[in-house]
Structure 1
Amino acid sequence: MERLYLMVRIAGELVAIDANDVGSVVEIDAVTPVPRVAPHIAGLFALRSRVLTVIDSRAALGLGRTKGPAMPEAVVILIDGHSYALLVEAVEDVASGDMLAPCVATLEPGWARVALGRLSTERGDVLLIDPALLIQGPEELAAA
């Protein structure tokens, strides 16, 4: 059965997030830094009277902090009653897909940790990621 997936770019890669996990897509104008947080947490953002923890998706993969100005687009995810905004380079499309299969390619450790499998879409094969695992941060933090 086909499902809907949000197609986003993170660290230059096109990846998919299950649309059922997505609350909304927003533009972020300002992130308030928070001292002494994990390196993959960019700060806090107010959205419609809610405070969201902003996750630097690139840093969460262990690929270094996002360079340059803050990314303006974020995917809002609700996990265990907490709202998170995952910074992404671009929100590209919503696509249907099916035939979730294991990844046959060797992935870098950050990607391997968040990967659920390979998704076949009309845009070709795309890596399906688990946003909850991305929110946990790099492997060394997730293991702690």
Structure 2
Amino acid sequence: MSGDFVTVRLGGQLLGIPVLLVHDVLRLGVLTRVPRAPAMVAGVMNLRGRIVTAIDVRQSLGLPPRDAAAPSMGIVVEQDGQPYALVVDAVGDVVSVAADRFEAHPATLSPAWRAVTDGVYRLDELMLSLNIGRLLAGGMAKAA
């Protein structure tokens, strides 16, 4: 489980997204709300001619909403041929992590985080390895 990850912050937690899954990193501007969409759908946007659904990851995980004045960033990924912008608090660096740094979920990790991550990497702090497929599948299943 070694590899390169784009690091992001969400509610103070450090997360890693495999770099090969990341298509774009962008500052989110105004999103167009979608009537009757699940709460986790923050809206949609046009990105180079493609309609991208913005997913509020905080909402998906049951975290408190971000301060409306705080800027948010989007990590654009593709799942099942559809682009999604994962709305996060901040984007960090790309880090290379050795396999010996990987561990299974700690017993104290909340069920919400456990459901959408593959495990943790011990860096200067714990970095949860985000599983995009499970994040989107779980959120969409709750919305149905």
- Identify the structure with the greater helix proportion: 2
TM class by shorter chain equals 0.7 to 0.9
Give the Cα separation in 1 of the matches to 2:67 and 2:98. Answer: 34
Query: Are 1:127 and 2:140 an aligned pair?
Result: no
CA distance in 2, matches of 1:5, 1:132: 16
The answer on whether the counterparts of 2:14 and 2:126 sit within 8 Å (CA) in structure 1 is no
* AA partner of residue 49 (structure 2): S
1:104 matched to 2:106? yes
1:32 corresponds to: 32
8 Å Cα contact 1:73/1:90 also seen in 2:
yes
Residue range with higher mean Cα deviation, 69-78 or 89-98 = 69-78
Distance in 2 (alpha carbons) for counterparts of 1:55 and 1:130: 14
TM-score (norm 2): 0.87
CA distance in 2 between counterparts of 1:138 and 1:67 reads 22
The alpha-carbon deviation at position 12 of structure 1 amounts to 1.6
Unaligned runs of 5+ in 1: none
Report which stretch shifted further, 42-51 or 69-78: 69-78
Structure 1 residue ranges, 4+ long, deviating more than 4 angstroms after superposition: 137-140
The share of aligned pairs that are identical, in percent, is 35
Q: 1:115 aligns with which of 114, 117, 141?
A: 117
Count residues with an aligned counterpart.
142
The alignment's C-alpha RMSD in Å is 2.1
Q: Which runs of 5+ in 2 are unaligned?
A: none
| Deviation sequence 1:7-64 (CA, Å, 0-9, x none) | 1001221111111111111111110000111111101011111110000010011224
